[in-house]
Structure 1
Amino acid sequence: MSVSSAQPQDPVRSPRSERLLVLGSLLLVVAILSIVAFLLVRERANAELSATRAASNIVQLIDADVLRNVELYDLSLLGLIAASQREDLKNVSPAIRHLALFDRATAAPYKGDILLLDNKGDVIADSASVEPRNGNYADREYFQSHLSNRDPGMFISRPFRSRKPEHEWRISFSRRLSGAQGEFLGVAEAAMRLSYFDQLFNSLNIGRDSSVNLISSDGILLAQEPRPAEELVGKDFSNRPNFQRIVKEGNGSFTSVSSQYQDKRLYTFSKVGNLPLIVVVALSSDEVFASWKRTTVVVSVATLALCISLLWLTWLFCRELRLRHNAERELAQLAATDALTGLANRRTLDQALRHEWFRAQRSGQPLSVLMIDADHFKDFNDRYGHQAGDQALRTLASVISAHVRRPADLAARYGGEEFSVILAETDSAGARQIAEYIRKAVEQLPFIEGADSPITVSIGISTWTTATDISLESVLFAADKALYQAKENGRNRVVSSA
């Protein structure tokens, strides 16, 4: 049994406290990181929700404005058709008939001319002048659509270039004129300049990298703000995945990569009333989450600094705990060890002996005790001095320790020049064999410098067995008595108790 295993464990701090401290700190760091991550994720969702709400408000504003203006156009067309079919206006002067056909709504900004075409596409009434212009529009999409389709509803054309010198982009709103039998009589058409949408969209502050789009339900781009580098008005986007999803869902929002700009965008969209028009606001994800990203960087750096500081403080505290633990262990080692010989001291011997005594009582295994005394040590000490005496004791301790190798055995300094050995699970014969090894090894030691005779030892043995069943004090007394018997018999010998 080593000195450390024989000493009491209560005074020594266990490293378990250090492990608990590290575990607690790691759990705290994980908890902090989890909470911060949760809050950042929630803030990102809030940023997206706020952007979606803002985009929805923009979409609703555009919806209302576009729908109101289209309704004005439709009222003008309906009024034109109704007035053109009045019998009482056929014989009035051209000026009066012109006033009746075209109401004041046609003078609104961004509105082009309103025309009334016959069944061949020729102009028979023109809002721009009393005398209708010379022109035929039978090739226009709206005319061909009404010619082949009896649907009396309003038709919205694809964007087209005006035949006027400025060649500006326009779209047409038109209705079919039908006879009593449903025969095709002509078309009432009103043109709108697409610059109207440019002016409307330009008044909205949606961010530098975001866009507002007006698209027909069949995928034709009518207007976009900001203006793209290439001319995209009139381009067909019906095969784009994002447009197909917009048409499928009708109203709502989603995040996707723009096929036009190749960046991630938050799309919010809505159909304009019952019209074949769709308003799409595409907000750049970089702009939507710009503030959140700045906050994330600041919070992440602060959190990382906090966690590193916490772990650093934990390391410092663990180091202090470890140093204290080592110091206490060293103190406990010193308290259990004889300073001169390095063997266990008397206090450790008494604790180990009591521990092995109870263990022998439970197991029924024998327990032997050796009491060893240096022969004529007082005379040796007086003759050669204390330093030589101390050296002799250290040498004896080294020899004794070399022959006590089993984990459960213990060699100790009993006091002065006297030593003791505990031999667990060892009967009298085994104890005597070990005692003889020790005695002979001591006898064969080289002479101490200046001495004229070798150092020898006398050894007394006492063994407890279930047959003897004596007390622990009796075992010690018997070993001590056997030691003195060895001295009386001439020293340098081994004697076992009877």
Structure 2
Amino acid sequence: MDSVLRRSVRGPVLLLTTAAILVIIALVQAAMLAKLREDRRIDAHRAAENVVRTLALTIDRNLKLIEVSIVGVREALALPEVQAMPASARHLLLFNRIAIPHYLGSMLVLDENGNIVIDSGTVAPRQANFADRDYFKVHRERDAGTFLSSPYASRLRQNDPSIGMTVRLSRADGKFDGVVLAAFRLAFFKSLFEKVDLGPDGIISLVNTDGTMVYRHPSTDGTGNAGESVADAPVFARMRATPNGSFTGTSKIDGLTRYYVTQKIGDFPLILSVGISTSAIFAEWAVQAIIVGLLTLVVCGLLAGIVLVLRRALVHSYNMEEQLEHMAVTDALTQIPNRRALEMALDTEMRRATREKSELSVLVIDLDFFKQINDSHGHAVGDALLRSVGRQVTRAIRRPGDFAARLGGEEFVVILPSTGAAGATFMAERIRKAIAATQVATDDGRRVNTTASIGVASGMIQASDPTDRLLREADGALYRAKGGGRNRVVGSHPNDGFAAAQ
């Protein structure tokens, strides 16, 4: 468990886990901000929807009142007795019974040539011709029903901006006989729209379905942009596609991006839109997003910093522990495993050999006449020789499971798992030859070498065997090798080893 934890801390696991946590925190904050942003959009939508619904209802009611009025005039003029009435009586009949809206300009009856024949403003009609107006041309060509004209400057009211609502007059044979016109002043829309506060850069637009601007507040030209064509504007295309809906678009007129809510005006070819600036909608949210974003960065930065500092401290602690552990099982002079490591390895291999019912061999190596080398050449040369012997012993064992350690002084031990007497003796002889070939230089340039006596113990291991059984047997064989003349390999049983002459 501890090794798994150490690998996790040292490897990418801790860093990846921390990164995942930071990503989760960021995603949670992003989701929260997205929810807040959507809430702001919904609030703006509801506000704009309420405004557009109220305005559309007011506009529709006034336009319908005018439509009823001009249709009533047309129906009255269709009666012969009305046509035969004196002009003053007919004027009273046609106009005094009509509830004229506040922003209605003039109601006129034009003949087939566009001249005024009946005028709501006076019994004696004013002199003017309107054959050039779009509403007159349309009705002259066909019966267009109730027609709303493009905005125009009134010739009877000092260029007062207006739109005309007209119906066709037809003779009994269906031929064109003129129009009934009601002029509706654009000041009505100006007064109506100015009462609404949509915040910075908010707009209200009334557009004909043919793309002609009827009135826009606030305007960019001081006249409500009346008559300006927006037919090729992307926002108008969206309005025409969804006359009763909502969308986000950029205005062709001022280039600002807004959230639009639209509604068609009853049966009339008009679309009303309320546009709220997206920057105004999300201004408060943007401040919240900046604050939350900064706090998230600070928290994530602190968390990452804490994790990095903690990781560095843990890695340092683990390194120190492992260094101490290594020092505890490593011989300081030769840098190979020491006696403590040997005892642990021997216990492990004894258990494995018992479990697997396999042979195990132990070699005990002792350098010959090492004390004389120390006395003659000094401990520095002796230490150098021990280090060199340690390297030779380590190089001689080649299998992953083989183990070499310094037992103490000039003694070394080798453990050979799954190895019988013959294999162990062969390995011992290889080590003996390698040691015999080892030389170290003295301060005066002379070369010093040594030989080794090696005791070998091999056999099957029983569960009842003490851990140091083979070690003691190999040690006994070592003493026999020493007594037999040194520089030789001797087994713990007869015929297990063979002697080599110095």
Which category of TM-score, normalised to the shorter sequence, fits these structures?
0.7 to 0.9
- Structure 1 equivalent of residue 60 of structure 2: 67
Shift of residue 71, structure 1, vs aligned partner = 2.9
Structure 1 residues 447 and 429, CA, compared in 2 at 3 Å: closer, same or farther? farther
Does residue 1:300 correspond to 2:293, yes or no?
A: yes
Shift of residue 393, structure 1, vs aligned partner = 4.4
Q: Choose from 479, 491, 495 the match for 1:496.
A: 491
Q: Indicate if the aligned counterparts of 2:403 and 2:416 stay in contact, CA closer than 8 A.
A: yes
Give the Cα separation in 2 of the matches to 1:218 and 1:389. Answer: 108
Structure 1 residues 381 and 236, CA, compared in 2 at 3 Å: closer, same or farther? closer
Structure 1 residues 428 and 241, CA, compared in 2 at 3 Å: closer, same or farther? same
Does residue 1:117 correspond to 2:110, yes or no?
A: yes
Q: Indicate if the aligned counterparts of 1:73 and 1:190 stay in contact, CA closer than 8 A.
A: yes
Give the Cα separation in 1 of the matches to 2:280 and 2:418. Answer: 82
Structure 1 residues 249 and 277, CA, compared in 2 at 3 Å: closer, same or farther? same
C-alpha distance after superposition, 1:53-97 (max 9, x if no partner): 222222112212212322332344345446655848965683x65
Does residue 1:409 correspond to 2:402, yes or no?
A: yes
Deviates more, 1:166-175 or 1:448-457: 448-457
Give the Cα separation in 1 of the matches to 2:106 and 2:119. Answer: 7
Q: Indicate if the aligned counterparts of 2:258 and 2:276 stay in contact, CA closer than 8 A.
A: yes
Letter in 2 for 1:478: E
Give the Cα separation in 1 of the matches to 2:447 and 2:25. Answer: 77
Q: Choose from 193, 197, 200 the match for 2:192.
A: 200
Shift of residue 29, structure 1, vs aligned partner = 1.2
Does residue 1:216 correspond to 2:208, yes or no?
A: yes
Give the Cα separation in 2 of the matches to 1:473 and 1:83. Answer: 131
- Structure 1 equivalent of residue 17 of structure 2: 24
- Where do residues 103-252 of structure 1 align in structure 2 (5 Å cutoff)? 103=96, 109-150=102-143, 153-164=145-156, 166-177=158-169, 185-229=177-221, 232-252=225-245
- Structure 1 equivalent of residue 496 of structure 2: none
Give the Cα separation in 2 of the matches to 1:11 and 1:196. Answer: 83
3-state SS, counterpart of residue 102 of structure 1: helix
Give the Cα separation in 1 of the matches to 2:2 and 2:294. Answer: 44
Give the Cα separation in 2 of the matches to 1:157 and 1:447. Answer: 117
Letter in 1 for 2:482: K
Consecutive unaligned residues of structure 1, counting only runs of 5 or more, are: 1-8
Letter in 2 for 1:489: G
Give the Cα separation in 2 of the matches to 1:38 and 1:268. Answer: 26
- Structure 2 equivalent of residue 6 of structure 1: none
- Structure 2 equivalent of residue 479 of structure 1: 474
Does residue 1:285 correspond to 2:278, yes or no?
A: yes
- Where do residues 291-370 of structure 1 align in structure 2 (5 Å cutoff)? 291-360=284-353, 366-370=359-363
3-state SS, counterpart of residue 275 of structure 2: strand
Shift of residue 27, structure 1, vs aligned partner = 2.1
Which structure has the higher relative contact order (CA within 8 Å, separation 6+)? 1
Shift of residue 47, structure 1, vs aligned partner = 2.4
Q: Indicate if the aligned counterparts of 1:12 and 1:328 stay in contact, CA closer than 8 A.
A: no
C-alpha distance after superposition, 1:331-354 (max 9, x if no partner): 111111123433322221122223
3-state SS, counterpart of residue 492 of structure 1: coil
Structure 1 residues 396 and 155, CA, compared in 2 at 3 Å: closer, same or farther? closer
C-alpha distance after superposition, 1:174-217 (max 9, x if no partner): 23445677665543322122232223223322244343211122
Shift of residue 117, structure 1, vs aligned partner = 3.0
Give RMSD over aligned pairs.
3.8
Q: Choose from 458, 462, 470 the match for 2:457.
A: 462
Letter in 1 for 2:296: T
Letter in 2 for 1:47: R
- Structure 2 equivalent of residue 431 of structure 1: 424
Letter in 2 for 1:15: R
Give the Cα separation in 1 of the matches to 2:185 and 2:481. Answer: 130
Shift of residue 249, structure 1, vs aligned partner = 3.0
Structure 1 residues 161 and 106, CA, compared in 2 at 3 Å: closer, same or farther? farther
Give the Cα separation in 2 of the matches to 1:238 and 1:449. Answer: 104
C-alpha distance after superposition, 1:265-301 (max 9, x if no partner): 3232111112222112233333333333333232222
- Structure 1 equivalent of residue 500 of structure 2: none
Q: Indicate if the aligned counterparts of 2:114 and 2:129 stay in contact, CA closer than 8 A.
A: yes
3-state SS, counterpart of residue 15 of structure 1: helix
Shift of residue 488, structure 1, vs aligned partner = 1.6
Structure 1 residues 273 and 484, CA, compared in 2 at 3 Å: closer, same or farther? same
Give the Cα separation in 2 of the matches to 1:165 and 1:177. Answer: 24
Normalised by the length of structure 1, the TM-score is: 0.83
- Structure 2 equivalent of residue 4 of structure 1: none
Shift of residue 258, structure 1, vs aligned partner = 3.5
Letter in 2 for 1:328: E
- Where do residues 78-117 of structure 1 align in structure 2 (5 Å cutoff)? 78-81=71-74, 85=79, 87=81, 94=88, 97-103=90-96, 109-117=102-110
Give the paired residue count: 487
- Structure 2 equivalent of residue 266 of structure 1: 259
Q: Indicate if the aligned counterparts of 1:482 and 1:496 stay in contact, CA closer than 8 A.
A: yes
Give the Cα separation in 1 of the matches to 2:65 and 2:447. Answer: 136
Give the Cα separation in 2 of the matches to 1:323 and 1:75. Answer: 92
3-state SS, counterpart of residue 172 of structure 1: strand
Letter in 1 for 2:164: S
Shift of residue 113, structure 1, vs aligned partner = 1.8
C-alpha distance after superposition, 1:424-475 (max 9, x if no partner): 4444444334434444454553587799996443221122369xx9986543
Give the Cα separation in 2 of the matches to 1:355 and 1:463. Answer: 16
Q: Indicate if the aligned counterparts of 1:371 and 1:460 stay in contact, CA closer than 8 A.
A: yes
Structure 1 residues 281 and 304, CA, compared in 2 at 3 Å: closer, same or farther? same
3-state SS, counterpart of residue 485 of structure 2: coil
C-alpha distance after superposition, 1:141-182 (max 9, x if no partner): 33344444456x532222222224732322112234456776
Give the Cα separation in 2 of the matches to 1:395 and 1:71. Answer: 113
Structure 1 residues 179 and 379, CA, compared in 2 at 3 Å: closer, same or farther? closer
Give the Cα separation in 1 of the matches to 2:125 and 2:293. Answer: 72
C-alpha distance after superposition, 1:467-498 (max 9, x if no partner): xx998654323211211111222233322222
